[in-house]
Amino acid sequence: MTEPVASKLDVGKGADMRPIAALTREATAKGAGLPGVVWLGGYRSDMTGSKAEALCQQAGRNGQACLRFDYSGHGASGGDFRDGTISRWLEESLAVFEHCTSGPQILVGSSMGGWIALRMVQELKARGQGDRVAGLVLIAPAPDFTLELMEPELTDAQREALERDGFYEEPTPYGPDPNVFTRALFEDGRKNRVLEGLIETGAPVHIIQGMADPDVPWRHALRLVEHLPSENVTVTLIRDGDHRLSRDEDIARILAAVDGIATGS
């Protein structure tokens, strides 16, 4: 089993350049013919979380390549978190994907990472590289979350803060620091909407969604399915599953979904 290798890739130009930290595990002869695995984390998460670690370990056991990285403003990467938008993090995801992977890959996107995974498919297909995506595993996917899930719930005070300050903060149960949401994030989110027409993935999709998720309602996952015309779409609803889906049994389902796509089973 090869060990993950740390690297950094500069993305952007001039004052906008930011170093993106990545961990890459190379494929071995054992995994010949198997697609690699690419982890796309959620908002404020990083590449050292339990799901990302488990995916990397499984890839190592199978001899598959595995890539995980931190968006700018996250984890070990540079850049200011408040500069982050879907377009910015998408640019970084595509740059790292192009630089650190070769051949078909399974995109595993968690929460916001599910949105970025879907946008990556669209951008890769536009470049004539749609065959680089062997499949998608979307964990509590949150496509269009700024417009569909957050804007309708904004309070008057939050709307005023966005207009006056360009951002607002709110406490989160996932860490000691508050979440920060910027006006730029909301405005850019509209430019990256995917729940408007059909999303042609050209690859199998497996969605895993908790029904006790307080952040992304399970019906949002079903709405996503309506935009996926492929017949090869699987949805796993976990009755007591939360947003993180980080329990041992949740991670086992995620790993099984990745294996299923990799082996065509």
pLDDT tens per residue across span 6-63: 999 999 999 999 999 999 999 999 999 999 999 999 999 999 999 999 999 999 999 9
CATH annotation of 5-263: 3.40.50.1820
pLDDT tens per residue across span 150-200: 999 999 999 999 999 999 999 887 778 889 999 999 999 999 999 999 999
Q: Do the beta carbons of residue 81 and residue 53 sit within 8 Å? A: no
- Cα separation of 188 and 76, whole Å? 24
pLDDT for 144 beyond 90: yes
130 phi, psi to nearest 5 deg? -60, -25
pLDDT tens per residue across span 191-231: 999 999 999 999 999 999 999 999 999 999 999 999 999 78
Dihedral, CA atoms, 108, 184, 192, 66, nearest 10 degrees?
-20
Sequence spans of domains, the chain: 5-263
